[in-house]
Structure 1
Amino acid sequence: MDNPRWVQRPEGANWGDFSPDDQLGRLNLITPEKVRQGVAEVREGVTFSLSLPLDYPGGNLLNPRRYPPVLRPTMRETMPNFNAAIGDQVTDVVCDDLVILHLQYSTQWDALCHVGSRFDADGDGVAEKVYYNGFRADEDIRGPSSLADCGMGDGTSRESTSGATRLGIEGMAAHGVQGRAVMVDLRAHYGDARTFVGYDELMRVMEADGVEVETGDMVCLHTGFGQRVLEMRKTPDAEALHSLCAVLNGRDGRLLNWISDSGLAVLIADNYAVEGLPAQEGHETPCAQMPLHEHCLFKNGIHLGELWHLTPLAEWLRARGRYRFLLTAPPLRLPGAVGSPANPIATV
């Protein structure tokens, strides 16, 4: 398979299957027909917001590198542009603000450039830093060369110091994320206990609930974690954050094969990372610390949604014996970003 960026692709990868330069991955499976199927699931016209407030979970105990958003007023000359009377002869009072936002702090999408791997794409025996479909670190996904170049500080810098010229989240936004979604209710079967869910466990839940996943469906995993985070009211308990609710077992090869074979377009969960971190032991090294992220983002172009709020919708669907719904969930159209907040809307 001819490709200008690679001569070999990782085992189990779909690089090049959509096109040599594809940047959408399995979003290509969300076709007009899948949108029509999603619309056909709307019966009552009831909507659910599937986003946590973007200042949840609170603090930085879930991920020490990510912090809650900070709102600040813009400036009008030398004064804050907030509750500002803009002149003696006019009646307008104006508020205008900015936000310092960690894009993957709360309810979010992972872009395909969020996680790559060191892999010998050139076939010369030397591993390179590469991303989905062979796009390259420092060429297609660029970052600062040193901490001094990061533009950290008070957030007033107007210059970008990193960005993806390929695989950025803006591709997902431009394509649109709307179609038929499927709810898999892990919480109904496993409660709030920390449970690693592999292929066998997932199949038992889906069989018990009569859930089927077809090509192009968007799969949502309800674990209850988002609800528990919401109940902590921005003062989360560190131990609870890392010991609650179901997570996928990224080391389970049969589970990863099912993700590939199912034809799902995207994979979403209301927990921190979809998969359990740290991953389970017992795998030869070197290996991925986040094997499900590697399989989905790096190998197969499957966007991951994390920290969604699925409990009210999951309970509504279960009470009515339903599991399919229309999902509308675009990210921010922010060029070059490796992830984005989302305010997904389910319509039933």
Structure 2
Amino acid sequence: MPHWVNRPEGSNWGDFGPDDQLGTLNYIGPDQRRAAAAEIVEGQAFCLSLPLDLPGTLVLNPRRKPPVLAPTRLGEVPYINYPLSEVDPILRDVLSDDQVLLSTQYSTQWDSLAHVGALFDADGDGVAERVYYNGHRPGHDVMGAGAEGEHGSYARRLSVCEMAKTPIQGRGVLVDFVRHFGMDRRIVTRRDLEEVLEAQQVEIRRGDILLLRTGYAEALRDMQDAPDPERLDRTGAVLDGTDASLQDWITQSRIAAIAADNYAVENPHTDPQACCLRLPLHHHCLFKLGLPLAELWDFRDLAQALEARGRHAVFLTAPPLYLPGAIGSPVTPVATI
């Protein structure tokens, strides 16, 4: 049975089954993976991740903190450069062993479908309640404090671990906004996107993962020694989440996911009087379609290689951490051409 009576207009709730947790990742199947593998011609691989201690000197989200590494401990003993001869004099091993405190969406990352929900009357009782993709609910599927054992939060459903189990592997298609528009800030409508697709002869297929190069992550890396947050705010293209025709294009294209090199993928609304969504594209993708979004990837080297070869598609491997309950995840995407 579905988890809802009403489903949002323009959504695909229930299309992949009443209990679906994968959304548009269902578009990636064996045929799509075989087609993606055919994009490997040279066997050259590119890491698409920023170092996970970036954005570093520039604060993008005050809730999200840079990783803090520390040694593991046995009692009060830190296991960094630790000689096992302290335990047994005949042993010659020296061990180092660490752990990390990490905001899962601080740097190069995936949003899970538990990241953004909405107030929506899924029950059909006339009262809007908090709900996530396919009718999944807070308090039962996405848990808060005291959720599971010692965890302070825990997504029992819609977690990134579902994306890891799939796993995310398919045809990535690069749309190079930098090459077409330059590095300045631009709000990209459907017309703009289709203009770039035509100019760069980019073919979009069902199950593709759309890779958007805006130049934002490149500027972020370059600014570490001379931070300039105002210039960063004027850097790179962002999708116009308010463009209903762009939302329709995302739905009708049957893409599986969107990965951008910027922060938030779209242009967030900052007008407190604007109704009714601060992140309308997140609402459309994560809440309505179950279409995962990724942020702060690094496309510079890949873009240069693809442009030199007159290509746009890659074999992409980008599973999140298989971390049960996690709502977001760092990722080290690899593109092979």
The question of a shared fold, defined as TM-score above 0.5 by the shorter chain, is answered with: yes
Give yes or no for contact 1:29–1:216 (8 Å, CA) kept in 2: yes
Cα offset, 1:282, TM superposition = 11
Cα distance in 1 for residues equivalent to 2:273 and 2:255: 26
Q: In structure 2, give the amino acid aligned to 1:204.
A: E
Cα offset, 1:311, TM superposition = 1.2
Cα offset, 1:284, TM superposition = 6.1
Q: Which residue of 2 aligns with 1:228?
A: 219
Q: In structure 2, give the amino acid aligned to 1:310.
A: F
Q: Which residue of 2 aligns with 1:347?
A: 336
List per-residue Cα deviations over 1:16-51 (Å, max 9, x = no partner). Answer: 000000000011111011111111000010000000
Q: In structure 2, give the amino acid aligned to 1:45.
A: G
Cα distance in 1 for residues equivalent to 2:152 and 2:139: 12
Cα distance in 1 for residues equivalent to 2:153 and 2:288: 23
Give yes or no for contact 1:215–1:265 (8 Å, CA) kept in 2: yes
Cα distance in 2 for residues equivalent to 1:77 and 1:284: 54
Q: Which residue of 2 aligns with 1:199?
A: 190
Equivalent residues, number: 333
Establish whether residue 133 from structure 1 lines up as the match of residue 134 from structure 2: yes
Cα offset, 1:60, TM superposition = 5.9
Cα distance in 1 for residues equivalent to 2:133 and 2:305: 36
Summarize the alignment of residues 281-300 of structure 1 with structure 2, pairs less than 5 Å apart.
285=275, 287-300=276-289
Match of 1:271 among 262, 266, 284: 262
Match of 2:153 among 139, 154, 162: 162
- Secondary structure of 1:34's match? helix
Cα offset, 1:78, TM superposition = 2.3
Cα offset, 1:236, TM superposition = 3.4
Cα distance in 2 for residues equivalent to 1:346 and 1:52: 14
Q: In structure 2, give the amino acid aligned to 1:239.
A: E
Q: Which residue of 2 aligns with 1:84?
A: 82
Identity %: 51
Q: Which residue of 2 aligns with 1:305?
A: 294
Q: In structure 1, give the amino acid aligned to 2:47.
A: S
What is the TM-score normalised by the length of structure 1?
A: 0.92
- Secondary structure of 1:36's match? helix
Q: In structure 2, give the amino acid aligned to 1:81.
A: Y
Q: Which residue of 1 aligns with 2:14?
A: 16
Match of 2:209 among 209, 213, 218: 218
List per-residue Cα deviations over 1:167-193 (Å, max 9, x = no partner). Answer: 000000000111111111111111110
Q: Which residue of 2 aligns with 1:75?
A: 73
Cα offset, 1:98, TM superposition = 0.5
Q: Which residue of 2 aligns with 1:117?
A: 118
Cα distance in 2 for residues equivalent to 1:245 and 1:284: 24
Give yes or no for contact 2:57–2:224 (8 Å, CA) kept in 1: no
Q: Which residue of 2 aligns with 1:249?
A: 240
| Unpaired runs of at least 5, structure 2 | none
Cα offset, 1:59, TM superposition = 4.2
